[in-house]
């Protein structure tokens, strides 16, 4: 949908300190100019194609399809992008925009580290300074990505406040931005935060569904019956859904992280367990207690371990255009192992949440049905924590 005044229905808005208002207004104006600028778009397309490796493949998962015995399963291979995830799409767009705006420094939050690595990568490529805020807990469970960011020339600041995860990294990046705005762009990693971020990030990620829609029409001559993606803040999901939203016959399914289960407190399934609130610059759904205190959420996946969800998802949920299901740690780990064995593809633990749901529903669908699952990232970064989940310690000595 087209947002009006930064709103998707009642959701979105810009609930931020006055100090940042002119910065987001300036960003909105710059984006509105450059999104229609042929030179900007040509430059971005060249970065997408030559640097990030787009278009990403739409791969027919033949063995998985045969094994499950139902709908045909196609995988949208965002894991094959440079830096190993969909995050690079948004980052290249924002970094180029920031550079056009005269900014010389990028700051970012990161959960699993994929957005941080992508931002550090773009900063290296475009010759910009880079500081990444990452929860201390996430630094520990995603040590490889911390190393990569430093290798790429970024400074990584561990955040120890609150639950020391993605939510706290976002808060700290926002605080940093209020203290240094003139030369700094906050390269937000998901379709969340104050307007215009949910729109900008969605537009840059929409390349996923633009390609997937063309690719499936070319391969199958028809649209899919369902598109499935994992949802934390929701950037790969909105990117996967966007160009299918007008196609009413296509089910759009977002997979939230249920953690240890939506009937426990150790969950991050926002639409399944949260209610409407205002936080991190936006009105949307949040996991919170009766007094509006934000809940300390949990998921095995650092990238989905967030107590909110982007405002456009909240809207798609309310109008019934997209459905949002909850997938537990156990189901995601099983799908992580399943795709590795069946197709020789190790998916990110985030993406494994989407795959788990495909494994669940494909057998119930006819063989003439088609599902597209977005593999938002690759799983190298998750091997240590999945091994630990299975009781194996991979520490190298």
Partner 1 sequence: MSRIREAFSDKKAFIPFITCGDPDIETTEKIVLAAAENGADLIELGIPFSDPTAEGPVIMEADSRALEAGTTTDDVFLLTARLREKLAIPLVYMTYANVVFSYGTEKFAKKAAAAGIDGIILPDVPYEEKGDFEEAFAACGIDLISMIAPTSEDRIAMIAKEARGFLYIVSSLGVTGTRSSITTDIGAMTALIREHTDIPCAVGFGISTPEQARAMAALSDGAIVGSAIIKIIAKYGREAAPHVGEYVRAMAAAAHSA
Task: Show contacts with partner 1 in window 165-204 (CB under 8 A).
Answer: 167-168, 171, 174-175, 178-181
DSSP 360-374: HHGGGS-TT-EEEEE
267 close to 297: Cβ distance less than 8 angstroms: yes
Choosing from 3, 28, 78, 109, which is the catalytic residue? Answer: 109
Which C-beta is closer to partner 1: that of 160 or that of 264?
160
Least Cα distance to 100 among 26, 204, 49, 155 occurs for 26
Choosing from 190, 284, 376, 385, which is the catalytic residue? Answer: 376
290 close to 277: Cβ distance less than 8 angstroms: no
104 binds partner 1 (CB under 8 A): no
63 close to 359: Cβ distance less than 8 angstroms: no
Return the range that interacts with partner 1 (CB under 8 A); candidates 53-61, 79-87, 162-170, 386-394.
162-170
The nearest distance, CB 169 to partner 1, in angstroms, is: 11
According to DSSP, the residues that pair with 347 across neighbouring strands are 378
Rounded-to-integer distance, Cα 385 and Cα 112, Å:
11
**Catalytic residue at 109?**
yes
What x-and-dash track marks residues 2-31 binding partner 1 by CB under 8 A?
Answer: -----------xxxxxxxxxxx--------
Which C-beta is closer to partner 1: that of 96 or that of 159?
159
The nearest distance, CB 304 to partner 1, in angstroms, is: 18
Task: Show contacts with partner 1 in window 289-318 (CB under 8 A).
Answer: 290-294
Rounded-to-integer distance, Cα 204 and Cα 332, Å:
27
Which C-beta is closer to partner 1: that of 70 or that of 296?
296
**Catalytic residue at 28?**
no
According to DSSP, the residues that pair with 186 across neighbouring strands are 107
Rounded-to-integer distance, Cα 57 and Cα 219, Å:
12
**Catalytic residue at 376?**
yes
**Binding residues with partner 1: total (CB under 8 A):** 37
CB-neighbour burial class of residue 38 (10 A; exposed 0-12, middle 13-18, buried 19+): exposed
Rounded-to-integer distance, Cα 90 and Cα 187, Å:
9
Which C-beta is closer to partner 1: that of 280 or that of 378?
280
**Residues at the contact surface with partner 1, assessed by CB under 8 A:** 13-23, 161-162, 167-168, 171, 174-175, 178-181, 275-281, 283, 286, 288, 290-294
Q: Which residues are catalytic?
A: 87, 109, 376
């Amino acid at each position: 949908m087209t947002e009006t005044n930064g709103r998707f229905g009642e959701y979105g808005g810009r609930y931020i300190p006055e100090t940042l208002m002119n910065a987001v207004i300036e960003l909105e104006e710059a984006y509105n100019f450059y999104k229609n600028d042929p030179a900007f778009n040509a430059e971005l397309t060249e970065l997408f194609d030559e640097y990030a490796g787009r278009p990403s493949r739409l791969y027919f998962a033949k063995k998985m399809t045969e094994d499950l015995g139902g709908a045909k399963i196609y995988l949208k291979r965002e894991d094959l992008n440079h830096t190993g995830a969909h995050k690079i799409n948004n980052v290249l767009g924002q970094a180029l925009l920031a550079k056009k705006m005269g900014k010389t420094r990028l700051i970012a939050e990161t959960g699993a580290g994929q957005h941080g690595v992508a931002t550090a990568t773009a900063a290296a490529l475009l010759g910009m300074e880079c500081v990444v805020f990452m929860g201390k807990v996430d630094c520990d469970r995603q040590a490889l990505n911390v190393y990569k960011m430093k290798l790429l020339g970024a400074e990584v600041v561990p955040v120890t406040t609150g639950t020391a995860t993605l939510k706290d990294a976002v808060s700290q990046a926002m605080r940093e931005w209020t203290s240094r705005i003139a030369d700094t762009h906050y390269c937000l990693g998901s379709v969340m935060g104050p307007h215009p971020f949910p729109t900008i990030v969605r537009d840059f990620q929409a390349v996923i569904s633009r390609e997937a829609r063309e690719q499936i029409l070319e391969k199958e001559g028809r649209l899919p019956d369902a598109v499935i993606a994992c949802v934390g803040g929701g950037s790969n999901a909105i990117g996967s859904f966007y160009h299918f939203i007008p196609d009413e016959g296509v089910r759009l399914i977002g997979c939230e992280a249920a953690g240890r289960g939506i009937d426990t407190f150790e969950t991050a399934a926002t639409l399944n367990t949260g209610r409407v609130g205002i936080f991190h610059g936006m009105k949307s759904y949040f996991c919170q207690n009766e007094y509006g205190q934000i809940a300390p959420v949990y998921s095995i996946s650092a990238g989905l371990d967030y107590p909110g969800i982007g405002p456009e998802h909240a809207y798609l949920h309310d109008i019934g255009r997209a459905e949002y299901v909850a997938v537990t740690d156990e189901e995601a780990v099983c799908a992580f192992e399943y795709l590795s064995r069946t197709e020789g593809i190790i998916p990110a633990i985030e993406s494994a949440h989407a795959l788990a749901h495909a494994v669940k529903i494909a057998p119930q669908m006819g063989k003439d049905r088609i599902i597209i699952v977005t593999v938002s990232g690759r799983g190298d970064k998750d091997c240590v924590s999945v091994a630990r989940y299975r009781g194996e310690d991979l520490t190298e000595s």
